[in-house]
Structure 1
Amino acid sequence: MNFRSNLRRLINEVGCDFIHQLPYPHVELFFWQPDDGTVNFGDYLSLVIVEQCLRRFGHTLADEVPRGARLFAIGSILHYARNDDVVWGSGINGRAGQGDLNRRVEQLDVRAVRGPRTQEILRRRGLAVPDVFGDPALLLPQLFPDRFQRRPVRPWIFVPNLHDLGLIDRTFANVVSPLGSWNRRIDAILEAELVLASSLHGIVVAEAFGIPARYVRLSEGESEFKYRDYYEGTGRFDVEFASGLDEGREMGGAPRLTFDHQALMDAFPIDLWNGTH
């Protein structure tokens, strides 16, 4: 295995701190990315959304800040957390070996989590977790109010999870790969009247823009936990999953979400940059 492959494997094991180690205190944004150099759009949305939130306040990820910190925003990545990390919308994965916090974690600065299932696990560990739920990708229409517009020209699309890519024909016109640029994935989602997905962020992005969406469970590659966590964090319990595309098309979208965009926006930890917690 060459140096590049070894480096990518290491990044995959520890996640991705986007900003390089700077010689001054700064906020490191942590998110996961594939170890082969590709871009999984759902995880990459963490960078897009945090940067856009910061622009509203005139800050950047490269700013020197009063105290260095590490921020978790989008993703089922809390098994990577360390003491004193800041959490704004992330969730527990639930998959075997990634189902909980590292046992050494005793303190987190939690501003919001994806849903009540993550909240319950963190509270069982003695951590303070507010009643603020939601995946930050739900804020896309508010953060980019003039950029993306619905243009339904396809009756349906399917956005697979990475673990399901090998189960489908990726050349099929209705399949939108999760690998690639974040903006083109969103454009493709906004072309559909119905979004079927095993990619969690295929569902989240669709519902953020008011497009009916349904989770299609093609494999056991992902735990049901993170999908239930998201649905329950948006006010929906006992959502039925489809087991195939035909069934998903017949079922149509899940019940509409109930979500407080402002509460999640207000929970953004801008104090890490301006020191006014």
Structure 2
Amino acid sequence: MLKKILLNKWTKKLAGRMTIFGQYHRLIRPNQVNLMYFDEKIGPDKQPNVGDLLSKVTFDYLMKYKGINSLKARRTTRITFIGSVIQFLTADAVVYGSGFLFEYVAEPFAKKKLKLDVRAVRGPLTRGKLQEIGYDVPMVYGDPAILLPIFYAPPVVVDRKDFLVIPHWKTVDKYVKMGYPVLSPLTADWKNFINEIASAKLIISSSLHGVIIAEAYGVPAILLDEVEKDNLFKYKDYFMSTGRKEFTKVKTVEEGLATAIPALPDLEKMKSDLLNAFPEDIFR
């Protein structure tokens, strides 16, 4: 029994080092920059989470923007981009704009004793947790999804929807049955996801990337407080990165529609800082 337990632990550790987030069909490529992101297809229709998908989309666009045409690196390198993925790392990595999912995952993550080359984090809460466990973290904030308007412009819509609801993927049907205009966060068509958001006057979203993309494209957003494990860490992390300690959150769509539309943050300096922090030096 002990031998079997030790073998399972060794196999799991090896898989963590040799694959991207334990997915055996996604092997780490030696002497290349390996983007660490999830690509599972979930939900009844087996679609990707658009936030995870946008990690690769934004990474590819930034590569072109910076004139980098090869993933070759001086050494095998892992990098995190969009999303709450730091705690899932199992090997040394570069961190660019990522965050922790919850505050309590930082302590077990510290036990992995990984080397992190942190260039930017999603927000000050992630920065604080990384500093608490001994990492050097620059004061450079921003989810890389805020850079999407640099690369993609949605069609101009004259007759915009009054509002659009982006619920957690598990509750999409609930809001559809209630008769609200709904946009699912599970989709492979990321351009349409952005187009739909840009065609609305207001976004009411429990998806963090529903909020981030809305604000990046100049659409006011209200957080629908129907979030994973009732934990607002990643949302606070983003809002605080824009200088907002307080932000609008509601329990129902009706409450959101009755609430004053929040002001949009100025993301220009954050975008500039994030672009300047892109780790061009890790590429050969």
Aligned residue in 2 for 1:199: 207
Deviations 1:161-199 (A, max 9, x none): 234335433794610011111111001101100011000
Is 1:25 matched with 2:35? no
Q: Which runs of 5+ in 2 are unaligned?
A: 1-14
Which of the residues 149, 161, 164 maps onto 1:154?
Answer: 161
Question: Are residues 105 and 166 of structure 1, via their aligned partners in 2, closer, same or farther at CA, if it must alter by over 3 Å?
Answer: farther
Letter in 2 for 1:193: K
Match for residue 54 of structure 1 among 54, 63, 69: 63
Within the candidate set 100, 116, 120, 1:92 is matched to: 100
- TM-score scaled by structure 2? 0.82
Kept in 2: contact 1:15–1:31 (CA 8 A): no
Q: Percent identity?
A: 31
Q: What displacement does 1:15 show? A: 6.3
Residues 173 and 71 of structure 1: CA distance in aligned 2, closer, same or farther (over 3 Å): same
Question: Pairwise mapping of residues 1-277 of structure 1 onto structure 2 (< 5 A)?
Answer: 14=21, 20-22=27-29, 24-34=30-40, 36=42, 37-60=46-69, 63-94=71-102, 101-144=109-152, 147-151=153-157, 153-165=160-172, 167-169=174-176, 172=179, 174-180=181-187, 181-221=189-229, 223-259=231-267, 260=269, 261-274=271-284
- Which structure shows the higher strand fraction? 2
TM-score w.r.t. the length of structure 1 is 0.84
Q: CA–CA distance in 1 between the matches of 2:77 and 2:118?
A: 13
CA shift for structure 1 position 90: 0.4
Corresponding residue for residue 5 of structure 1: none
CA distance in 2: counterparts of 1:236 and 1:247, whole angstroms = 21
Between 1:247-256 and 1:96-105, the stretch displaced more is 96-105
Structure index of larger Rg: 2
Mean Cα displacement is larger for which, 43-52 or 211-220? 211-220
Paired AA for residue 121 in structure 1: K
List alignment gaps of at least 5 residues for structure 1.
1-9
Q: 1:253 to 1:109 in 2, by over 3 A?
A: farther
User: How many Å apart are 1:73 and its aligned residue?
Assistant: 0.5
Match of 1:6? none
Distance 1:85 1:137 in 2: 20
Q: Which amino acid aligns with 2:171?
A: D
SS in 1 for 2:279: coil
